């Protein structure tokens, strides 16, 4: 909707003139004063429609300033005080536009908008400009003339004819003031202020203020320009005099400082036999240029810094001798506590790097894992075992090409990239460079930065790496680059060049061992405490891990331990008795209320509740999957923030259990007359994946057969539509979660039996693992409780089931699957 920008003062409307409706032309790039003729180009559709309407209204229209500089589809905002104008001529122009000549007549006020389509039309009235005597009129006019004379004298944008033109309009004060506003280069907003000033006295005061501002601006710009010119002239003069002084000294045979330094550099370069020929020639060229440059020039400082940096690189460093793999393995085992397959993969890579005849074909070692999972610790162990210095570079400092390859010497603040700086700082090419947190580079989505990083770390390309600053090929193949990334996959072209080492999260037992072996000794030393003053029990550490942290790594655990150390240190500093033992009962005295409450298994068997196992970014977790049967039409409802894969897994499990209704003693009509609701607790956490298929199958069988599930067993596994149990990932974390919850019998897919080797010996020794290939074997494990008091079956069936249980107990434990299957079928046959 078109809006009128009201004037700050009440307008004196002329009483002798009647109000009328006239078209309004918004002006955005120019203003036309009364008595001024101006030609503008009009090409917008609404403006061309306005011209047609003006031709039918004596060629009269209103010109109003709109502060919206860019035309929009919306209707414009218009100033209340405008100028009544007459169209003098209309001529065709390019692109169907018109060149329109307008003549300003007088000021006019916009009262309100009549319409905005197809052009703006407003109700207008003439304003009374006032003819009363203005106090100090002559002084105002003289001051305006004097200010304009100064502008003409100092500002070459105005000619002397401007003063003569204004003198012609002096008899009419109103015309004189409008002429000044039109001819001086004021801002459009300032010109509109002049038009808004209906009273002559106010208008003249505004003109005087604006003229003074223009003179002040021009005076300031003149001073600045004068200072810049003087500075440039002074520098030119000094440069000329220095050049003359250098020539005079040469004629007198005196040695210049610049030539002396140049000669020193040249002798140093020629005497360094370790420099490659290409580097020697480049440095001699730069040293020769120093003799012809002034020591006060910026180019002299740039050339000197370049020579110093190139000479400071470790050209004399001989390659290190091959390392002993046996000693490396021993050192890594001593410094790093982790899974055996990770160490094996790293040792295989190091062996391949040492024995390979063509290092260019080797991949790049990359450690992928959550924060705190030991990536940096493993790299430290590798560098220490190999006898190399370790340099760590954060990915946040490598998000642009200049961070990696440096900037060109002609750029302001030019310098080498981070990698060359690291080599210069360590004074060796035989380094272990750990580029950590590279997810920052991936998230920056700068393809050029990724390609530059690949050029620097890829053995196929970094044999002749050229930094933009040095401009000299450097061999980076001697550097062992190790990449580190958290939770992100490298895009192409990185992926196929990486030797990925998956750093999975630590389980609770591993965290306790690492804490006692590495973290606590470091904290004792940092806070000046001894083991007699502060002691941690395994159960105390276990409670801190399970109830105060939720992570795959050890960062949060170390932070919680530091809270305890700081508190004990404060007590010791206050001369209090310092001898504390942190156990499971007093942890909350130091750390407060537990932040996380771990899931616990049910205390007794229940219908429709099974112990599932889930993998999370913070490790494994116990997940109680619940099911409920209710009257309905045979639908399956799911809740708990489930993904599409998990929903499909539930549907497949339901179909399989329905197909096994006879075996389980379930009436087929129940699947039509009852709905099933499957719920996964902790609904705020999204869940997905197929590994809950085994657990869901058992829950559905439990609710449909009305038989409770053994609460002392946990399980995981993917189920196909035909009941096959497929392997799953994250077995170590899932088994650890069951062990923490006190569940020592775990059902796993048969193909996951090899994953048991990765588990701590304590867990393996105390846990019974049952491996299954089909869901039928799951039902044969006796997980569904047949106790008569827990479900409604006739007494005769209950007795038969009790007899079957007794017979099963009397048989040897290692019964064959065939015998178990026959016994189950016999029981079901008798029960049905």
**In angstroms, rounded to a whole number, what is the distance separating the alpha carbons of residues 565 and 572?**
10
**In angstroms, rounded to a whole number, what is the distance separating the alpha carbons of residues 83 and 126?**
10
Residues with Cβ < 8 Å from 776, sequence gap 6 or more?
A: 660, 663, 723, 821
Q: Is 8 helix (H, G, I), strand (E, B) or coil?
A: coil
Would you tell me how many other CB atoms lie within 10 Å of the CB of residue 245?
Answer: 12
**In angstroms, rounded to a whole number, what is the distance separating the alpha carbons of residues 818 and 780?**
10
Q: CB–CB of 733/373 below 8 Å? A: no
- Segment holding 303, helix H or strand E: helix 298-312
DSSP-derived pairing of the beta strands 713-715 and 609-616: parallel
CA neighbours closer than 13 Å in the CB half-sphere of residue 725: 27
Q: CB–CB of 81/122 below 8 Å? A: no
Kindly name the residue from 191, 405, 511, 734 that is annotated as catalytic: 734
Length of the chain: 832
Active site residue 734: yes
Alpha helices in 767-794, H assignment, sequence order: 775-779
Cα angle 136, 137, 140; round to 5: 85
**In angstroms, rounded to a whole number, what is the distance separating the alpha carbons of residues 470 and 313?**
11
Q: CB–CB of 81/196 below 8 Å? A: yes
Q: CB–CB of 194/181 below 8 Å? A: yes
At residue 413, what are phi and psi to the nearest 5 degrees? 70, 35
- Segment holding 307, helix H or strand E: helix 298-312
Q: CB–CB of 163/152 below 8 Å? A: yes
Cα angle 350, 351, 356; round to 5: 105
Q: CB–CB of 108/83 below 8 Å? A: yes
Kindly name the residue from 174, 407, 546, 691 that is annotated as catalytic: 691
Question: What's the start-to-end Cα distance of the chain, in Å?
Answer: 80
Active site residue 581: no
Take residue 26 and report the two structure tokens written for it.
């918004």
**In angstroms, rounded to a whole number, what is the distance separating the alpha carbons of residues 693 and 702?**
14
Alpha helices in 660-705, H assignment, sequence order: 661-664, 670-673, 693-705
- Residue 686 CB burial class (10 angstroms; 0-12, 13-18, ≥19): exposed
Residue with tokens 């105002």: 140
Residue with tokens 């894992």: 369
**In angstroms, rounded to a whole number, what is the distance separating the alpha carbons of residues 545 and 535?**
16
Take residue 611 and report the two structure tokens written for it.
């112990």
**In angstroms, rounded to a whole number, what is the distance separating the alpha carbons of residues 633 and 538?**
53
Active-site positions?
691, 734
């Amino acid at each position: 909707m078109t809006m009128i920008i009201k004037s700050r003062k009440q307008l004196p409307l002329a009483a002798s003139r009647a109000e009328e409706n006239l078209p309004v032309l918004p002006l955005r790039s120019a203003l036309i004063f009364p008595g001024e003729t101006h030609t503008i180009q009009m090409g917008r559709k609404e403006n061309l429609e306005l011209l047609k309407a003006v031709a039918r209204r004596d060629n009269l229209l209103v010109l109003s300033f709109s502060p919206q500089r860019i035309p929009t589809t919306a209707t414009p905002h218009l100033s209340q005080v405008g100028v009544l104008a007459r169209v003098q001529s209309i001529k065709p122009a390019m692109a169907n536009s018109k060149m329109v000549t307008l003549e300003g007549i007088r000021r006019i006020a916009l009262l309100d908008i009549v319409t905005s389509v197809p052009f703006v039309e407003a109700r207008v009235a003439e304003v009374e400009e006032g003819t009363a005597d203005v106090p100090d009129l002559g002084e105002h006019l003289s001051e305006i003339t004097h200010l304009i004379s100064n502008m003409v004298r100092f500002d070459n944008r105005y000619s002397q004819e401007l003063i003569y033109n204004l003198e012609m309009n002096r008899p009419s004060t109103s015309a004189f003031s409008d002429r000044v506003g039109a001819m001086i280069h004021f801002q459009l907003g300032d010109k509109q202020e002049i038009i808004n000033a209906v009273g002559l006295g106010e208008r003249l005061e505004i003109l005087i203020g604006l003229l003074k501002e223009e003179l002040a601006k021009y005076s300031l710009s003149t001073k600045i320009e004068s200072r810049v010119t003087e500075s440039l002239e002074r520098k030119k003069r000094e440069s000329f005099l220095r050049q003359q002084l250098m020539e005079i000294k040469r004629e007198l045979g005196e040695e210049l400082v610049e030539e002396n330094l140049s000669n020193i550099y040249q002798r140093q370069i020629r005497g360094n036999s370790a420099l490659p020929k290409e580097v020697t020639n480049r440095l001699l060229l730069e040293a020769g240029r120093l003799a012809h440059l002034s020591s006060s020039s910026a180019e002299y400082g740039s050339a000197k810094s370049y020579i110093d940096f190139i000479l400071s690189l470790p050209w004399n460093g001989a390659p290190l001798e091959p390392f002993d793999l046996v000693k490396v393995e021993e050192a890594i085992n001593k410094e790093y506590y982790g899974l055996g397959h990770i160490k094996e993969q790293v040792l295989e890579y190091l062996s391949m790097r040492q024995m390979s005849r063509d290092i260019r074909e080797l991949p790049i070692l990359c450690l992928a894992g959550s924060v705190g999972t030991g990536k940096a610790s493993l790299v430290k162990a590798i560098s220490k075992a190999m006898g190399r210095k370790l340099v760590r570079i954060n990915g946040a400092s490598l998000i642009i090409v200049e961070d990696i390859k440096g900037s060109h010497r002609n750029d302001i603040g030019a310098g080498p990239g981070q990698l060359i700086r690291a080599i210069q700082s360590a004074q060796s090419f035989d380094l272990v460079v750990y580029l950590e947190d590279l997810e920052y580079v991936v998230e920056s989505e700068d393809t050029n930065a990724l390609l530059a990083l690949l050029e620097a770390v890829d053995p196929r390309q970094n044999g002749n790496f050229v930094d933009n600053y040095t401009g000299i090929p450097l061999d980076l193949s001697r550097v062992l680059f190790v990449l580190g990334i958290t939770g992100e996959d490298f895009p192409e072209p990185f992926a196929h060049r990486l030797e990925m080492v998956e750093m999975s999260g630590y389980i609770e037992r591993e965290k306790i061992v690492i804490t006692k072996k590495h973290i606590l000794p470091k904290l004792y030393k940092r806070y000046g405490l001894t083991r007699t003053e502060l002691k941690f029990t395994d159960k105390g550490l276990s409670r801190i891990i399970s109830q105060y942290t939720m992570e795959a790594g050890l960062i949060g655990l170390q932070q919680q331990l530091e809270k305890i150390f700081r508190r004990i240190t404060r007590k010791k500093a206050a001369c209090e008795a310092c001898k504390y033992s942190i156990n499971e009962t007093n942890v909350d005295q130091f750390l407060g209320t537990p932040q996380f409450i771990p899931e616990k298994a049910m205390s007794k068997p229940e219908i429709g509740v099974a112990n599932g196992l889930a993998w999370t970014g913070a490790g494994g977790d116990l997940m109680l999957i619940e099911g409920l049967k209710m009257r309905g039409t045979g639908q399956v409802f799911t809740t708990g923030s489930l993904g599409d894969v998990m929903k499909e897994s539930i549907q497949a499990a339901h179909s399989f259990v329905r197909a096994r209704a006879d075996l389980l003693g379930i009436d087929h009509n129940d699947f039509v007359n009852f709905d099933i609701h499957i719920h996964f607790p902790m609904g705020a956490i999204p869940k997905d994946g197929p590994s809950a298929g085994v657990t869901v199958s058992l829950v559905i069988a439990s609710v449909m057969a009305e038989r409770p599930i053994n609460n002392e067993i946990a399980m995981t596994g993917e189920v196909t539509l035909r009941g096959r149990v497929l392997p799953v990932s994250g077995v170590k974390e899932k088994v650890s979660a069951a062990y923490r919850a006190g569940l020592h019998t775990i059902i796993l897919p048969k193909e996951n039996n090899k994953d048991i080797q990765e588990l701590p010996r304590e867990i393996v020794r105390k846990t019974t693992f049952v491996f299954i290939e089909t869901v039928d074997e799951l039902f044969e494990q006796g997980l569904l409780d047949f106790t008569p008091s827990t479900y409604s079956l006739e007494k005769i069936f209950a007795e038969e089931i009790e007899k079957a249980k007794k017979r099963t107990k009397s048989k040897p434990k290692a019964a064959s699957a065939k015998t178990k299957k026959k016994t189950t079928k016999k029981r079901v046959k008798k029960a049905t």
